[in-house]
Chain A
Amino acid sequence: MKVLVGIKRTIDANVKVRVKADESGVETANVKMTLNPFCEIAVEEAVRMKEAGSAEEIVVVTAGPEEARQTLMTALAIGADRAVHVVADQEIQPLAVAKVLKAVIEQEEPGLVILGKQAIDDDSNQTGQMLAALLNWPQATFASKITLGEGEAEVTREIDGGLETLTVKLPAVMTTDLRLNEPRYASLPNIMKAKKKPVDVKTVEELGVDAAPRLKIVKVAAPDKREAGVMVESVAELVEKLQNEAKVL
């Protein structure tokens, strides 16, 4: 089975994000960019499937600017076999990404597609569900355990009240949650090897996808800042303040 993994390049999770002074967006100049953490889990899961003998080939796909090439390299270093880079210089929103992935999937015909549940930049949590809709495939979102079977898969999902287990027919789209696995660190030899793996470059136009944004971002503002309060010296003082000053007990 071929597994296709869609990934996104995002601002590193440890960067303190700052809004630009003109409120047109967030500061990205000289900011560390990485593979979105949930996408990293998606790549790792595919690699484990290959190691277990249930996947033969792993193709990673991204839709993004020229620089997203580095992110594909990270995925190739973790263990993906080859990459497809759909170059998009303009902002590309989840519905458009889903359409781009659908176009690539129609060419690649994978038996399973894995995505991260959410990108930590726009926090949309949409692309996997949208892709599944466009393909008319089942979706298993927020997966914490995937067991592949004959023509179907059993997936345990993280839901608000606990866990839910579904069986989905394959091909399917799955999105990863935190506890699905712990991604490995790419070794230096694998980072070197990644540079020799094939990267197929396409454009959004070549795929015939209308990627025009449907949501206009009017402005991006910093949230109201919460001021630090007071330090207390003891538990007794804390309880007294919560009772008499904050009046929350």
Chain B
Amino acid sequence: MSALVIAEHDNNELKQATLHAVTAASQLGGEVHILVAGEGSDAVAAQAAAVAGIAKVLHADDAAYGHGLAENVAPLIVGLAEGYDHLLACATTYGKNVMPRAAALLDVAQISEISEILSADSFIRPTYAGNAMATVESSDAKKVITVRATAFDAAAADGGSAAIEAVSGPGDQGLSRFERHELSVSERPELTSADIVISGGRGMQSGENFPLVEAVADRLGAAVGASRAAVDAGYVPNDYQVGQTGKVVAPNLYIAIGISGAIQHLAGMKDSKVIVAINKDEEAPIFQVADYGLVADLFKALPELAEELDKQGISKN
């Protein structure tokens, strides 16, 4: 029995997400291989080979795979699927885009965003925004799986020395082409891997007030997130969104500012180790999941918090 993990990367760097999928794959008990599909991606293949516990790296390097287009990557995966019982990727926008396409080509179901592995064919996955945990059993010959990163620790990025094998696939299907990226540039840590996350909600009232959140984030070395309401209202870009339809985070400390705590937001952060909520409405549902709640006007509380962190010598800058 063996499992193939589809690597996520930008042709230079293996993304942390891949390491979470590797841990899930290791729990299945067989050999774990990684597929690196990219263009000019030798460095990524080398990083994949160094991941602890990896037996082999399959490296498909071709212009068709440079931007991870699902139309080109899915047939590549299908062509390599024969020797594997499990095909896994992290449930990022990349994994969510590519894996169902591969699953349909293999005529198998996808098991989306699993949070626990019970056996080689039985898994737990959150449904209804995490309000119902479904145990599912797959009857398909191959299991195509996406993995919830917060439910599986990252595998060690070093310690391995797997062989790298060059592979090829059907190449460019001529259905789509990449035009451009507009990637958010931030000095702050990535939302999904940050130790501390501070998010603003509708209570922020405007995007212009987000610097109040950022001031605290920078003192804590935290990532900045937002509720769907804040994204909907146009305060911040969509890639800030924490929740059922955005990102799922589980940091050591999650600070919710002016967030009421709608079901769909809780779905994205309720597995955080410690949750703090600051909201002026004492009835806000967020207080029902918060370890520490403070009923306060955020426009007063945020500057006070920044000041207190400085005073206590906690600030990182």
A residues whose Cβ falls under 8 Å from a Cβ of B: 11, 13-14, 16-19, 25-26, 38, 93-95, 98, 117-118, 120-134, 136-142, 144, 154, 157-169, 172, 177-179, 214-223, 226, 228-236, 238-239, 241-243, 246, 248-249
Contacts and interface: CB of A to CB of B under 8 A. Distances in A.
Given A16-B263, A138-B175, A220-B134, 15 more contacts: A129-B98, A139-B176, A160-B92, A163-B181, A164-B180, A164-B182, A169-B176, A215-B136, A217-B135, A219-B135, A230-B291, A231-B292, A235-B296, A235-B305, A242-B276
Interface in B258-317: 263-264, 270, 273-276, 287-296, 301, 304-305, 308-309, 312, 314
A179 B295 CA distance: 31
Contact of A236 (B132, B134, B308): B308
A118 B126 CA distance: 14
A236 to B, nearest CB: 6
Contacts of A222: 131-133
Given A133-B101, A235-B296, A159 B301 contact: no
A164 B263 CA distance: 28
A11 B129 CA distance: 12
A126 B97 CA distance: 8
Nearest to A135: B104
B179 interface: yes
Contacts of B131: 16-19, 26, 222-223
B93 A160 contact: yes
B112 interface: yes
Contacts of A136: 173, 175
A166 B274 contact: no
Contacts of B135: 217-221
B24 interface: no
B111 to A, nearest CB: 7
A41 to B, nearest CB: 11
Interface stretch (B47-55, B153-161, B230-238): B230-238
A92 to B, nearest CB: 12
Given A95-B108, A215-B109, A238 B305 contact: yes
Contact of A123 (B128, B275, B301): B128
Interface stretch (B57-65, B66-74, B203-211): B66-74
A55 to B, nearest CB: 21
A130 B101 contact: yes
A130 B111 contact: no
B27 interface: no
30 contacts: A26-B128, A120-B128, A121-B127, A122-B112, A124-B112, A125-B112, A126-B110, A138-B175, A139-B176, A140-B176, A160-B92, A160-B239, A165-B178, A165-B179, A172-B176, A178-B228, A178-B232, A215-B111, A217-B135, A220-B135, A221-B132, A221-B135, A223-B131, A226-B275, A235-B308, A236-B308, A239-B309, A242-B253, A242-B292, A246-B292
A248 B109 contact: no
B40 interface: no
Contact of A133 (B74, B296, B304): B74
Contact of B97 (A129, A165, A233): A129
A177 to B, nearest CB: 7
A18 B228 CA distance: 23
B171 interface: no
Contact of A246 (B93, B238, B291): B291
Contacts of B94: 159-160
A216 B103 contact: no
Contacts of A166: 69, 176-179
Interface stretch (B30-38, B79-87, B244-252): B244-252
A25 B138 CA distance: 17
Contacts of A159: 93-94, 239
Q: Which 4 A-B pairs have the closest CB atoms?
A: A229-B291, A130-B104, A129-B100, A133-B104
A158 B93 contact: yes
Most buried by B among A26, A157, A217, A229: A229
B127 A122 contact: yes
Contacts of B76: none
